Amino acid sequence: MFLSKLDSLGNARKLIYDNQQICGVEEISIHDAHKRVLAEDIIAFHNSPPFDKSAMDGFALIAEDTFGASNSAPKEFKIIDAIGAGDFSDKTVGKGEAVIIATGAPVPDGANAVLMKEYTTGEGDDLTIYSQVTPGENVSPKSEDIEKGQKILDKNTFIRYQELGLIASAGYDTVRVFKKPKVKLIITGNELVEPTKEEIDDAKIINSNQFTIKAMVEDSGAICDIWHAGDTFDEVREAILDDCEDYDVIMTTGGTAISKGDVVLDVVEDIGEVLFHGVAIRPGKPAGAGIINGKMIFTFSGQPVAAMSQFDMFARKYLFEMQGRHFDFHNVKRTSQLKIPSQLGRTDFVRAVSDDDHAKHVLNRGSGIIRSMVEANSYIIIDENDEGYQKDDIVDVILFDSLLW
C-alpha cells in the first residue's frame, strides 16, 4: 500500500478514538485490585471508624474535669478500668474517673477526651494529671472517615494504594473492575534474530521491538503476548487471524512502508478496514491503524524509536480508555536550550532531556537510535503549524513519567 496522502496527527487519533472499545468487567479479590480501574461505585457498608476511638495512648476522661490542671495545680483522678486495642470497657466514666486506653481502642461511655500519658503520673489506681484537654481532644469520632451508605469512590477511579485502604475500610473483600485488555503483538521481519552474545549473521538485526513494545503495553495496564511472522502476505495474514478471537487489540511492528515485503497494511485492507496509513509526524510517518473482526489493529514501524513514539501517539490512550481510565497528554512548559528546526504540516515528537525549567533535544535523532530514547526523559512537541523553535523559546513538553499507567 502506497503512502499517497498523509493524515494529520489529530485526524488519525480521531479515527482511532471514534472506534474506541471498552473492556468487560470482572470481580476480583481486593488483594489483586492495585492499579486496576473501578467498574462500580463504592458504597460504604460500615462507618469508619465504627466508634469513637482514641487517637493516643493515655487516659479517657471527662474533659471538663481537667480544666485548670497544670504542673503547679495538678488534679487527682481514680482509674476504674483499662482498654487495649480490640477491647472495650463496659464501665461508664464519671466525674473524677479515668480509664487507661490504647491508641485505636473505643472511648468508653461518659468520657469525651483522651489525655496523653506524658502529662500524668500515677501509682496503682491513683492518677495525677498536669495538663488539661478540651472536649473531643485526641478522639477520632465515629464515621470521621467513612459514613455507612456513603458513596466514597466513583466508577472509573484508578485504584492506588490509598484507594485500596478506603475500599477495604468500607467492607469490600472483592471489587468489580474493568478487565485488562489482551494484546497480540506480532513482530514481522525476516531479518530479525533473538538477542545473542554470539556473532550475528550478515543482514540480520536483533529483535528489540518485542521487548520495548511489550513493556509499553504492560506500562499501559494491559497484557501482551508476542507472535512472530515473516515478510510475506500469507505469513502476516495467518499471524493476524490465528487465535484472533482471544485478543482485544492487535499490534504489529515492521512492514508498514513501501518497500518489497512491506505487506502489513495490504493484509489489513484484505481482511478488514484500514482507518489510515501514513501520518504527518516525525518519527513514524508510516504509522497505520485499522479494524479487523471488530478489533483495533495498530501497525507500527520496524524502526525501534519510531515504533515507541507511534505507540505513545496512538496506542497508549486507546489501552487506557479500554480499561475505563481517561488519558490525555499532560503538556508542561519549558524553555528550549537549543534551536529545533521543523516544517509546516508535520507534528514532531522530539526526544529531549528536560528539568524543571529547561528542555534540550537529543542531538542524535535517527528513528533507529534506541540510545536516544534512553538518554531522553521527555518529548518536545512541535505542532504542525510551527516551523520549529528558536533557542529560549517556550516549548510544550511531555515527560515520559506522565505516560505511565
Residues 169 and 43: their CA atoms lie apart, in Å, by 11
Find the angle CA(197)-CA(202)-CA(205) to the nearest 5 degrees.
Answer: 60
pLDDT band at 3 (very low <50, low <70, confident <90, very high): low
3-state class of 319 per DSSP? helix
Asked if 122 and 256 sit in the same domain, the reply is no
Calculate the average pLDDT of the chain.
95
Asked if 252 and 369 sit in the same domain, the reply is no
User: Does 2 map to a domain?
Assistant: no
Backbone angles phi, psi at 180, to 5 degrees: -75, 130
Q: How many domains does the chain have?
A: 4
CB-side neighbour CA atoms (13 Å) of 312:
27
pLDDT band at 193 (very low <50, low <70, confident <90, very high): confident
pLDDT digits (tens, 9 = 90+) for 270-319: 999 999 999 999 999 999 999 999 999 999 999 999 999 999 999 999 99
Q: Which CATH number goes with the domain that contains 288?
A: 3.40.980.10
165 and 18 in contact (C-beta within 8 Å)?
no
Asked if 312 and 243 sit in the same domain, the reply is yes
pLDDT of residue 255: 87
Helix and strand counts by DSSP (H, E) for the chain: 8, 28
User: Does 367 map to a domain?
Assistant: yes
Print the domain residue range for 40.
Answer: 25-48+146-178
Could you tell me how many residues make up the chain?
405
pLDDT digits (tens, 9 = 90+) for 56-106: 999 999 999 999 999 999 999 999 999 998 999 999 999 999 999 999 999
pLDDT band at 260 (very low <50, low <70, confident <90, very high): low
pLDDT band at 26 (very low <50, low <70, confident <90, very high): very high
User: Does 3 map to a domain?
Assistant: no
User: What residues form DSSP beta bridges with 128?
Assistant: 76, 121
272 and 236 in contact (C-beta within 8 Å)?
no
Q: Which CATH number goes with the domain that contains 170?
A: 3.90.105.10
Verify cis geometry, omega within 30 degrees of 0, for the bond prior to 135.
no
Asked if 44 and 166 sit in the same domain, the reply is yes
User: Does 152 map to a domain?
Assistant: yes
Q: How many CB atoms lie within 10 A of CB 362?
A: 19
292 and 248 in contact (C-beta within 8 Å)?
no
Predicted TM-score of the model (pTM): 0.89
Q: At residue 54, does pLDDT exceed 60?
A: yes
Asked if 85 and 199 sit in the same domain, the reply is no
Do the strands 295-300 and 249-253 form a parallel or antiparallel pair, or are they unpaired?
parallel
Residues 122 and 78: their CA atoms lie apart, in Å, by 10
Write the DSSP symbol of residue 127: E
Asked if 94 and 114 sit in the same domain, the reply is yes
Of 126, 159, 178, the position where a domain reaches its end is 178
User: Does 19 map to a domain?
Assistant: yes
Asked if 258 and 164 sit in the same domain, the reply is no
Mean pLDDT of the 146-159 span: 98
pLDDT digits (tens, 9 = 90+) for 354-390: 999 999 999 877 888 999 999 999 999 999 999 999 9
Find how far residue 36's CA is from the centre of its chain. 8
Asked if 344 and 398 sit in the same domain, the reply is yes
